[in-house]
Amino acid sequence: MTGTLNIRRVAGALGAEITGVDLAQPLADDTIAAIRQALVEHQVIFFRDQDLTPAQQVAFGRRFGPLNIHPYVAGMADQPEVMEIIKEPSDRINFGGGWHSDMSFLETPAIGSILYAVELPEWGGDTLFASQAAAYDALSPGLKATLEGLNAVHSASREYSAQGASAQKRGSMNVAEADGYVGEYVHPMVLVHPETGRKALYVNPAFTLKIEGWKTSESKALLDYLFNHCRYEGFTCRFSWRPGSVAFWDNRSVWHFALNDYPGQRRHMRRVTVDPWPQVAKVAAAAE
């Protein structure tokens, strides 16, 4: 328990559920600090029975940093920071399916995402989370030493190209193709968390193209090994949504996977994504 917050761990590698707080209300600085501490300690935190308007979700997210406006998915007309993630009963592809870390394809990746459940299917639609800090910890000393000096190239080109899974989600979401203007950005394969100092792997199947300075064919064997290792069930937790549920995860050390196991049903979520404060981003870039 922290102040008025009750924090209950939900799995061994990551995840905690927090009760005793109404996220729609203006929260005291010490409450925000306690939530932030829970986030960095547990990597993903969950809240139940919340009632958030888009504006209230934006206000809560801004307590942790400036909010990102997605470069390829249009936000709400009056709240561009809010992305509506919708799968209609007729849709076959869902947004966010497959293991990934949000926004690693940007020059300065996001630090966290806050997802709110508006409408859910009768069954299915859970989200899986995987701790990349636990994945790093489980590596051998030799592989850790090898990865310490390596960087990886990230890009949205594969996921948001005309053939990419996300770009094909146009029936119920305003998703643009990334062809022709997407960039490539280099990030360390081992990321040191700026608030905890804990190391985590920072590659993901959706947005990591190759290892910097290596051919794509040379990179494939090592990246495929890491991708398989990083989703080991012992590093994961699973969240079953209810209307009014909120998940807040740390993109610096967490993968997630939105399950697409509810054919013929509707799922409607809202997401805001938190960027680092500018001075923090500069420090992180200098460290890289």
DSSP state of 65: S
Concerning whether 158 is annotated as a catalytic residue, the answer is no
Given the residues 42, 70, 271, 275, the one annotated as active site = 271
Q: Is the dihedral of CA 182, 160, 43, 229 positive or negative?
A: negative
Concerning whether 198 is annotated as a catalytic residue, the answer is no
HEC string of 1-34? CECCEEEEECCCCCCEEEECCCCCCCCCHHHHHH
Do 100 and 207 contact (CB within 8 A), yes or no?
Answer: yes
Given the residues 36, 70, 91, 102, the one annotated as active site = 102
Given the residues 42, 158, 256, 270, the one annotated as active site = 256
Strands 208-211 and 151-155, sheet pairing: antiparallel
Q: Dihedrals φ, ψ of 254, to 5°?
A: -135, 135
Concerning whether 100 is annotated as a catalytic residue, the answer is yes
Q: 171-180: buried (b, 16+ CB within 10 Å) or exposed (e) per residue?
A: ebbebebbee
Concerning whether 256 is annotated as a catalytic residue, the answer is yes
Given the residues 100, 252, 267, 270, the one annotated as active site = 100
Catalytic machinery residues: 100, 102, 256, 271
